[in-house]
Amino acid sequence: MIKQFFFMVCLILVTGSMLLIWDSPPESFLRPEANIVNTLPSADTYMTNIETFIFSSDGSKKYSLKASAMSVFSDQAEVKLTKPEFMALEIGNQRSEVNVTANQGLITKSSQAIQFMGDVKANWQAHKGATALTAGTLIYSIKEDSASAANGIKLMTPDSSISGESFSADFQTELLRIESGVRATHDAI
């Protein structure tokens, strides 16, 4: 009796397994694809060692942009830059030179802004001497003549050092703001 019961249970299990395999679609037996490759957008234009200028209404140079490589993606309305070097010759109402370098850059048509990413360094000459800003990312808005930086910033002047999480500057009103976790060291004269 026990042998017959054991034999019936085995027969039911084998029959059930065969029906399950028989009714399963073939895709269920394939291995999942681990290396799914996402296609990258193809660049419409690719250039190396570029240099471009933007002039003000009176004909003087306002901005200069250099990069070791540039890729234009018209379907995304953006330009990607490798090792960009940006020079602003006219900031706010003053003629002063600001140099910005980074590992990567991105220019979007809709926002009219230049975004610098990776080891961003900005240098300019102020009336008290050279000033340097280092940050993880920096965005300069051409339309609003303002800048913002994030991912940890450090602002160095001849007599002080200020660090924080984010930075914003409005060049029209000459207002600089460092926010979140601000630490400063000032050297007395």
Percentage of residues of the chain with pLDDT beyond 70: 87
Q: Please give the Cα distance from 116 to 53 (Å, whole number).
A: 18
Whole-number pLDDT of residue 90: 63
Asked whether residue 36 carries a pLDDT value surpassing 70, the answer given is no
**83: phi > 0 → left, psi -120 to 50 → alpha, else beta; which?**
left
Asked whether residue 129 carries a pLDDT value surpassing 60, the answer given is yes
| Three-state DSSP class for residue 177 | strand
Asked whether residue 171 carries a pLDDT value surpassing 80, the answer given is no
Q: Which CATH superfamily is domain 45-186 in?
A: Lipopolysaccharide (LPS) transport protein A like domain (2.60.450.10)
Q: Please give the Cα distance from 166 to 102 (Å, whole number).
A: 17
Task: Look up residue 42 and give its amino acid.
Answer: S
| Burial tier of 74 (Cβ tally within 10 Å: 0-12, 13-18, 19+) | exposed
Whole-number pLDDT of residue 189: 60
- Give the pLDDT band (50/70/90) at residue 173: confident
pLDDT digits (tens, 9 = 90+) for 103-121: 999 888 777 788 999 889 9
How many other β-carbons are positioned within 10 Å of the β-carbon of residue 8? 10
Higher-confidence position of 102 and 19? 102
Whole-number pLDDT of residue 148: 87
Confidence (pTM): 0.67
**Residues in contact with 113: Cβ distance below 8 Å, sequence separation at least 6, in sequence order:** 107, 139, 140, 141, 142, 143
Domain ranges of the chain: 45-186
Whole-number pLDDT of residue 30: 74
pLDDT digits (tens, 9 = 90+) for 65-110: 899 988 887 777 788 889 999 887 765 555 567 889 999 998 887 7
Mean pLDDT score of the chain, rounded to an integer? 80
Q: What is the mean pLDDT of residues 23-29?
A: 75
Task: Look up residue 36 and give its amino acid.
Answer: I
Whole-number pLDDT of residue 164: 86
Percentage of residues of the chain with pLDDT beyond 90: 5
Which tokens belong to 85?
A: 């070097």
| Burial tier of 173 (Cβ tally within 10 Å: 0-12, 13-18, 19+) | exposed
